[in-house]
Amino acid sequence: MKRLLLLAAIGLNLLSLPAAAAPDSPTLKRIREQGVINLGHRESSIPFSYYDDKQQVIGYSQDFMSEIVRAIKGELGLPALQVRLMPVTSANRISLMLNGTIDLECGSTTNTVERQRQVGFSNHLFLYGIRLMVRKDAGVGGLDDLKGRNVVTTAGTTAERLLRQLNEERKPGFSLISAKDHGESFLTLETGRAAAFVMDEPLLHGEKAKARKADDWAVVGRPLQTENYACMLPKGDEGFKKVVDGAIARLMTSGEAEKIYNKWFMSPIPPKGINLGYPMSEEIRSLYKRPNDQL
């Protein structure tokens, strides 16, 4: 009889466990069943998500993703959850999310209304403007100085879409080159095949920092557009988004996010120990105080 009472008590306790034991989320359910979470990351988006000289994935966004994984392990009660890192590109990241290859991607992905038709987004990680990087002595201060010249950007990015739109609407008359990644885009600029590299401002500073002659390059012009980076996740999975957003909010409101920012934007970073010297904007300070996903 005591044994039966004990088993009955255990059964009642199991039924009363918190929602974490039976998450109302298709993504969390699949992660728990498979015992693995698949994380998408970038290979060369300095300083957000990239390989160091030991082929380890590091960066500002990667630090946020590590905290998110810790929160997911706690939510599922799986401290030994296997973490599988998968490189993605600007061109394939959305398709890999749609076909279930990755569960979460934190790198340098912009939250846009257009992309929201296909995938979901977390609270924002970073706010930035799209600008130009040029050789200092090129005499270029904006798109209007690039008529008849080549402009390079990275394929599959919002910068690429914006440049095509501007070329049609404003008729600045430049020729657009689309490179496979940010490293190739900068190489196109560095070798003189393009007069400007247009991309998210922090990524331009990242490429400049790792250049052989960093002082040869300058980020110029007013922002062509202001946008927001966020982690990408499956569309409509509110249970999963709640866990992800909660982890991001904890980092931001606790002051930890500011330490992460200073680590990657105001201190020497791998692999060359260069300091980007990119002070925090008032917009980012406001985001840290009030985490959100509003466009």
1-23: pLDDT as tens digits: 444 444 444 444 433 334 444 46
Distance (Å, whole) CA 139 – CA 132: 12
- Domain 19-127+228-289, what fold? D-Maltodextrin-Binding Protein; domain 2 (3.40.190)
pLDDT tens string 40-85: 999 999 999 999 999 999 999 999 999 999 999 999 999 999 999 9
Judge whether residue 279 has pLDDT over 80.
yes
In whole angstroms, give the CA distance from residue 162 to residue 223. 12
Closest CA to 23 of 75, 70, 69, 67: 75
Closest CA to 283 of 63, 48, 124, 158: 124
pLDDT at 14: 39
User: 240-277 pLDDT, tens per residue?
Assistant: 999 999 999 999 999 999 999 999 999 999 988 989 98
CA 1 vs CA 8, 59, 201: distances in Å:
11, 58, 70
Whole-model pTM: value is 0.83
Quick one: pLDDT at residue 20? 45
Are the C-beta atoms of residues 248 and 239 closer than 8 Å to each other? no
Alpha-carbon distances of 90 from 17, 155, 193, rounded to whole Å: 41, 7, 22
Q: Write the pLDDT tens digit of every residue in 154-186.
A: 999 999 999 999 989 988 899 999 999 999 999
Q: How much is the pLDDT for 2?
A: 43
Q: How confident is the model at residue 101 (pLDDT cuts 50, 70, 90)?
A: very high
Q: Where in the chain is the domain with CATH 3.40.190.10?
A: 19-127+228-289, 128-227
- Find the angle CA(122)-CA(53)-CA(71) to the nearest 5 degrees: 30
Task: List pLDDT tens digits, range 192-249.
Answer: 999 999 999 999 999 998 899 999 999 999 999 999 999 999 999 999 999 999 999 9
β-pairing verdict for 36-41 and 57-58: unpaired
Residue 57 · residue 269 · CB < 8 Å: no
Q: Which residues pair with 269 in a beta bridge?
A: 274
Question: Average pLDDT for residues 94-99, to the nearest whole number?
Answer: 98
Contact (Cβ atoms closer than 8 angstroms) between residue 206 and residue 45: yes
Residue 222: in which H helix or E strand, if any? strand 217-233
Question: Is residue 160 within 8 Å of 178, Cβ to Cβ?
Answer: yes
Q: Residue 255: which residues within 8 A CB-CB, separation 6 or more?
A: none
The hierarchical CATH code for the domain 128-227 is 3.40.190.10
Mean pLDDT along residues 141-165: 95
